Amino acid sequence: MANRFLLTLCLLVAACTSVSPPPAEAQEKPVAIHSSALTFKLDEPDATRIGRLIWRGGIEMKADSPNFGGWSDLYVTPDGRALTSISDEGAWLTATIDYNAKGDLAGLSAAKIGQMHGLDGKLIEKKAEADAEAMARLPDGSWLVAFERRHRLWHYHTLDATPLPIEGPADIGRQPSNGGIEALTALADGTVIAISEEYSLKPESVVGWIGKPAGNGRYTWSSFSYATIPDFRPTAITALPDGSFAILERAFDLIRGVRVRAMRFDAAQLKPDATVKAEELAFLASPYPVDNLEGLSSSRGARGETLLWLISDDNFNPLQRNILMLFELAP
């Protein structure tokens, strides 16, 4: 028993260790993604629901590229046909989403991978510069990307273009080095919502910001608090079709491993100086499929149902997985 515990402990420690991939050699190239189906609940094969989430398929993803991995955020088109993701090593990924006859997630095809540029127009290679943790698709189709370690916001017309710097909140640089903006989304009017993973000014909460467009790529920023519980911190946010928000909160320790809470809150809570208190939709932990879930997006299904997409960051560690999961939000 002691040896088994020691082995488990070693595996969990290794799973927390990020391994950097080799530098990107090309700006863009096709990549073949090999998908294998995930089992929703290991000890109950017929299970299809957890909390308010209905299982619509999941895949473990591997690819013929050493730069495939580290996926830290996710955007799925409103029609659910394609996705875009970014990694914490500065890579981006696009792919077509494939479904089975029931309309559940089956795989990805026509994928391409590339590396983002820095302000000098060169490919980003150093981890300190490449740590992209969150992105938002803006109304004009461009992208706002949040980086940590050196906390900043960059605006990309396309993810293979040279970005422009965006003036973020005044206190963006006060965030912990590895605990910056992980949750980022944009609304139809261009308003940006950002939430820090670890930056806190009040007990049992972290700081969030509301950015109102002010013209010429500028924003007027106000702050709010996002209520947290011990161990759990926000890693992703998406606006839902009904105007509310879904958010992921992640926790990890050596005994219990990775746990993730899928949360929801109404837009009416988002006000300057307010405290947002989200409700739990589902709690994901073993024996359900779970890993380092850091990306979240939403779309509409063929029946008009609300769909939630979750993607994980494997830290380029062979003991972790790149997984993509699809859930339907029950009424």
Give residue-wise pLDDT tens across range 163-191.
999 999 999 999 999 999 999 999 999 99
Residue 47, token pair as written in the block: 């299970």
Please tell me the predicted confidence (pLDDT) of residue 125.
86
The per-residue pLDDT for 9 is 39
Cis peptide, bond prior to residue 287, ω within 30 of zero: yes
Query: Between residues 4 and 312, which one has the greater pLDDT?
Result: 312
Give me the percent of the chain exceeding a pLDDT of 70.
Answer: 93
Give 15 or 306, the one with higher predicted confidence: 306
Report the C-alpha gap between 184 and 73 in whole angstroms: 9
Beta carbons within 10 angstroms of residue 47's beta carbon: 14
**In angstroms, rounded to a whole number, what is the distance separating the alpha carbons of residues 198 and 289?**
25
The encoded tokens of residue 78 equal 């409103």
User: What are the residue boundaries of the structural domains of the chain, listed by start?
Assistant: 2-329
**Which whole number is the average pLDDT over 216-220?**
96
Q: Are 116 and 84 in contact (CB under 8 A)?
A: no
- Asked if residue 24 has pLDDT above 80, the reply is no
CATH no., domain 2-329: 2.120.10
Q: How confident is the model at residue 7 (pLDDT cuts 50, 70, 90)?
A: very low
Residue type, position 279, single letter? E
Mean pLDDT across the chain, nearest whole number? 93
200 token code pair: 């806190």
As a whole-number percent, the residues of the chain with pLDDT over 90 amount to 90
Residue of higher predicted confidence among 260 and 23: 260
**Residue 231 banded pLDDT, cuts 50, 70, 90:** very high
**What is the Cα–Cα distance from 261 to 280, expressed in whole angstroms?**
7
- Res. 82: pLDDT tops 80: yes
Is pLDDT above 90 for 6? no
**Structure confidence at residue 292 (pLDDT):** 97
What number is the average pLDDT over the span 291-295? 98
Whole-number pLDDT of residue 20: 74
Is the pLDDT score of 3 beyond 80? no
Question: pTM of the predicted model, to two decimals?
Answer: 0.94
Q: Give residue-wise pLDDT tens across range 37-60.
A: 999 999 998 999 999 999 999 999
CB 153 within 8 Å of CB 173? no
